[in-house]
Chain A
Amino acid sequence: MLPDPNSQLPLNPATFHILLALAGEDRHGYSIMQEVARHSDGRYRIGPGTLYDSLDRLSKQGLVAEVPGPEGAGARRRYYQLTTFGRGVLAAEVDRLQVVLAHAKRELGEVMP
């Protein structure tokens, strides 16, 4: 039985962006860095040291898993995949952020003319 995804919340920014980068497809480390930069419009960058440390930690927590690379990719790079549990945690975080976002918009709407 999988643990409750809400027990992992809130996610730190690096974890959130890594899981988000892996939501679409399996990626290796450098590809994750590029995807994070792309979907944040270059406003958030993850260095290799932070990235691989986070990937090790997320692997131990069962949020991501190392998988074989696609055909022709060779064995030079390790590929990572979002697990079912990881996907559930990411979805729970997005829900939490939506609630926060809605509350923030309401507050700002009341304050701002």
Chain B
Amino acid sequence: MMRWVYHFLIRLHPNPFRARHGREMEEIFEDSDPGTRGWLLRDAAVSLVRQWTLREQEESTPAPVEGGPVFQLVGADRPDAKAVVHGSLVTIALWLTLAGLMTYGAAKRLSPRSLNGSSRGNPQVAGAYAPGERTAPGAPARFFGDTLFDALDANGDGVLSNGEANLARLLLHTLDRNRDGVVTAGECGIRLPMLQRWLGGAAVFQIIDRNGDQVIEEIEEWASPSLLRAADADRDGRLTPEEVRGYRR
């Protein structure tokens, strides 16, 4: 194993140095006492770094065979240090740009505004709501309960069925991992793959976090089955937007 590593380190040396000294270095390793081979490995590793970073290598172009093709190298066989630095900076800049675009795109796709977009009408315009819309015509602005309702109404039928209410309870309970009564953005982020499968965790958080302080204080309230029952004014086992709004008031 050590022999293989040593030969590999020698092969990684610049070609002129390896061609000139590689064979003798390998012979020295073969003749050495097994107890000194670790030290020889360290020496080869240091030499490798030194040769590539500190030493100018002379090109040893072999003489062309008569009648054979002639190949020539354009420039040095080592990359220019400035080019490496510039290339690294450009690569980092490209990755940051790409990451920024992806983040912006994801945020735009998952924002509450996009979820409450044209298919659900403009809540500011009276009469613009189709039957079954969640916000009553003429309402000045969408209410916290409406956006929460939107998020929990998985099938978008305008009512919360028992199944959706139970799912909401389970979901909100799952979000609050440390059971401290508040759900932080970090708790949403950790569970994001599972939440995306259910309702879209980032979207749920953005919708429910009304004041944008990255903490949801009232979510446990909605996770309580007794309060869900209390909000069900007509006791039909389903919550409508009006019932949610009426309960909150």
Contacts and interface: CB of A to CB of B under 8 A. Distances in A.
A52 B50 CA distance: 12
A49 to B, nearest CB: 2
Contact of B51 (A28, A45, A53): A53
Contact of B28 (A29, A50, A53, A76): A29
B24 A77 contact: yes
A53 B47 contact: yes
Nearest to A49: B47
Contact of B24 (A47, A52, A56): A52
A53 B40 contact: no
Nearest to A52: B21
Nearest to A57: B55
Contacts of B17: 52-53, 56
Contacts of A50: 43, 46-47
Interface string B150-185: 000000000000000000000000000000000000
Contacts of B48: 49
Interface residues of B, number: 21
B24 A49 contact: no
B227 to A, nearest CB: 75
Chain A residues touching B, majority SS? helix
B21 A47 contact: no
A30 B24 contact: yes
Contacts of A77: 24
A26 to B, nearest CB: 15
B51 A47 contact: no
Contact of A48 (B20, B29, B50, B51): B29
A64 B156 CA distance: 87
Interface string A5-41: 0000000000000000000000011100100000000
A105 interface: no
A47 B40 contact: yes
A53 B146 CA distance: 76
A33 B28 CA distance: 10
A32 to B, nearest CB: 11
A28 B27 CA distance: 12
B192 interface: no
A17 to B, nearest CB: 15
Given A30-B31, A53-B51, A53-B55, A48 B39 contact: no
Given A29-B21, A56-B20, 4 more contacts: A48-B40, A49-B44, A53-B47, A76-B23
9 contacts: A30-B24, A30-B28, A30-B31, A47-B42, A48-B44, A48-B47, A53-B17, A53-B47, A76-B24
